Structure 1
Amino acid sequence: MARYTGPKTKIARKFGEAIFGDDKSFEKRNYPPGQHGNNRRRGKKSEYAIQLQEKQKAKYTYGILENQFRNMFEKATSATGITGVVLLQLCESRLDNVVFRMGIAPSRRAARQLVSHRHITVNGELVNIPSYQLKAGDVVAVREKSKSLSAIQDSLANASHVYEWISWNNDSKQGTFVSVPERIQIPENINEQFIVELYSK
């Protein structure tokens, strides 16, 4: 399964925000990477550079590689609705993202691992495809044999975010993907219009 496995803090510093979640190293050095860091003189970015950076930020945030991301864009283009918003909704509807949002895993990377290692079920069936697209009403749960895993228990104990489009029952370790989130309900700091403009060239 192809995925980005390189340094996370360096990428976060490139975008100027902790896109991979809490990161003590980023907090210590929240300036651009490179030999000169803050002292580097940077000219005004071109329109293309700004659009490309926004696309890269979205890809790294959700852990999606280029071909898969482009396929999702094409799917969003053919769907009804605003293309950029539909693209983000497709990203949010991925199984690994929903496992992360439910608090079962502390990060999307950890959620992807839980899914691929067969710890997660959808509507009672084992699903080990992180990019699996959930539909409204789908029930996501921790497999019975995996409920005692300390990694899952620790993550749920520290989970604090609540999302209107997801319900979670901590006793049964299962939740429901209630509905596809509206744009205002997606907390990621991504300007999806830049991505649409980039791919539309």
Structure 2
Amino acid sequence: VRQAAAAGDSVVFGDAARLQALMAAGLARASAVVVTYLDVPGAMKVLANTRAHAPQVPVIVRTQDDHDLEKLQAAGATEVVPEAIEGSLMLASHALALVGVPMRRVIRVVQDQRDARYNLLRGYFHGADDDNADELDHERLNTFTLTPGARAIGQTLERLSLQGLGVRVASLRRQDGQPRVPAEDTVLSDGDTLVLSGKPAALAMAIERLQKG
């Protein structure tokens, strides 16, 4: 901490499960919160504080396995990343490669498994052949919160037709921090936070449609 402070970095040392520490770290203005330590009760406190004081902020939680997956999601976790799954994928990919399976197939197997597991990153696990694509035109995620007066309030996702713009609603959280599975008949409300997936130009048009119609 001292070295980071001396280097000019903004670092806060404290118990992340305490609201005072989270606020000192900038919870109110944060773009995202990442819980990296393996302590489910502590993660639950971070989720509760975030939901109460910054419900629009997405939270990514690291766990050892999927045992507490549903509990963490119900508490407001945007995504849960289990160590066991990531470790298993790497073990499997090395084993397949060492027994002679073509690397392209190994990469595809891992991609398929990650696509199936992580909703937010579905379709983002590109292979090595995509490295030469223009990074500015790559698909990305964008978090947008509906504010009072937004034209999308009271409308269904189907009516908004964001998919027609090339944008997918990856996740949806209500103002109270509770996650919802986005569906065509989902009616949007004031304070809803949507995680949108698409290319930059399409995302800009989608946000314009959500805000101004």
Please give the TM-score of this superposition, normalised by the length of structure 1. 0.26
Which structure has greater strand proportion?
2
